[in-house]
Structure 1
Amino acid sequence: MDTCVKKKNGALSYGLHITTILNHSGLNVSGEKETRKAIQTDVYGETTMKQMKFELKDGTWVKKDAHVVEEMDEEAQMDEANAQGNEEAMQEDQEPPTAPSSSSRVNEDNFQLMFGRLDSLATDMGNLTTSLDNFSSMVTQRFSTYDENFASLAQSMEEINERLRNHGI
């Protein structure tokens, strides 16, 4: 990280943040210099921000290719929802789009990932059920063995008591 920080064309803050993360995670970063924590009053130059893949949009530094979400008041959201409802009603007669939108592909990918995890969970639960059944069978078998041994012991004690009675003891 020290090398990253010293490079004139490197993204300075990333080196500081990575070192902080590694220290927080408990990873050995011996040989590295201690760094100060980044604070809100730190000022990065335009060159540094561009090296970190940020660009200035409407007076705010944003990550390149990042979607900017603007805050809207409730009235604007209601107006937009009504406008979308009217557009959907007008588009009912039109053909559906041939290619899915980017967000629907992302949603589909997320659903596929979720279904994969659910399948994995179902497999794990099946394995757990099998293990539980095997354990239950083993415990049942051991208790059956104990019951047989106790019955045999009870029989032996009864025979010993009978012999003692016969001998008058």
Structure 2
Amino acid sequence: MTKDDRKKMLHDTLDGRLDFSAMIDNTKGFIPVPLIITEAALGGFGVALAPVYISPQEKPVGDKDYIAPAVTGAFGMYTANNSWMIGIYRKEVIAKYGLKYKVFLGYIDYNLSYYKEVENRDDQKFDFNYKTIPVLLSLSKKTFSHLYLGAEYFRSKMTISPNFDYELPPILRSKISKKPLPP
């Protein structure tokens, strides 16, 4: 691929403006996606990195339809309040069989702070820890025309634990649990 071909990939064919879609559809390789997290509820600072590998798909002989590239990714995150998560993702089209699939698996352990005005007092801070293992499985089959039919399964049972020693105010206790939390 020449230097001019690479420059053309970064511009829309209709209006000539900056556009990355042709590059994403036709290139192969890793794209690092760094993120800086500044959410106060997650400790005010954190970093995340999601290296993504994109690979164009080969079209079966005689097929003129667009085939999305295969995408494989991983991610990791860590914040100042010891929140962290990791995960992997895969999306691919198997054009020969008219199938699309997506798979995602992760582990999330994050700490969030909530502020609530408590009766006859100022705002009070409540820290909670959330743990979950999200799982996504999706499979669809091309039917007539360009219609896909399929099934998707998502599961993410979450465990929420308070990280403080005092009893919750009644308004919060009723929203979190039917049973009162121990003091």
Greater share of residues in helix:
1
Computing the radius of gyration from Cα coordinates, the structure with the larger value is 1
TM (normalized to structure 2)? 0.18
TM (normalized to structure 1)? 0.19
Greater share of residues in strand:
2
